[in-house]
Chain A
């Protein structure tokens, strides 16, 4: 079945980096955008950025520019999100999600994030 399986929970010290993986199966990995979204404890969803697996093109939320790096390895259908210089307020559940997009003429058609990973808990604590 179509699924995204993320790597396991991480505990990091302030100032360290974390790299979370998201392995796709059941569909053509290069045919969909992959978004990264995080959720701090008791808070809402925060979009971090997307990667186009086909080209490797990325776009990051302004808040995360210079601080997050999204990559992919198409040979193993896996996307990665690396966040550096971690602080305690980066403690959150990090999700990957796929989205289909189509461009017809001047119009973009977005199909929503229809498959989500199970989430990876990242705890930043000294």
Chain B
């Protein structure tokens, strides 16, 4: 079955750029999505179709996807961005989530 791999944790200083990767076989041939989840809350879509932002998502969130790796980039990271982030893709008719990355802003 298809697998997506994320680093368990990423740390960033406020105002700096955070990058979270998601790896999977030929992931660049699929669309990648990213979700943000804060403690006790439902996940929230922040990027779809590799690099599109839903309405209401700040411009500091961006995405890319090529080869075997999709990347979520948060520019000018703020304390409010501290959360768990999950990548997701479709493989044939099924959906796969990455294991999640805890972003710490310190």
Contact = CB atoms under 8 A, between A and B. Distances in A.
Interface of A: 35, 37, 44-47, 50, 59, 61-62, 95, 97, 108-114, 116-119
B48 interface: yes
Given A45-B43, A112-B54, A118-B42, A61 B94 contact: yes
Given A95-B42, A110-B31, A112-B54, A59 B94 contact: yes
A76 B45 CA distance: 26
B49 interface: yes
Given A45-B35, A62-B1, A108-B90, A114 B54 contact: yes
B94 A113 contact: no
Interface stretch (B13-21, B70-78, B96-104): B96-104
Interface of B: 1, 31, 33, 35, 37, 42-45, 47-49, 54, 84, 86, 88, 90, 93-100
Contacts of B97: 37, 44-47
22 contacts: A35-B95, A44-B84, A44-B99, A44-B100, A45-B100, A47-B96, A50-B95, A61-B94, A95-B42, A109-B49, A110-B33, A110-B49, A110-B90, A112-B45, A112-B49, A112-B88, A113-B33, A113-B43, A113-B45, A113-B88, A116-B43, A118-B42
B99 A109 contact: no
A109 B86 CA distance: 20
A42 to B, nearest CB: 11
Top 4 nearest A-B pairs (CB, nearest first) are A112-B48, A116-B42, A112-B33, A44-B100
A59 B93 contact: yes
Nearest to A108: B90
B96 to A, nearest CB: 7
Contacts of B54: 112, 114
Q: Which of A35, A37, A46, A112 has the most CB of B within 10 A?
A: A112
B91 to A, nearest CB: 11
A95 B49 CA distance: 22
A50 B92 CA distance: 13
Nearest to A4: B42
Contacts of A59: 93-94
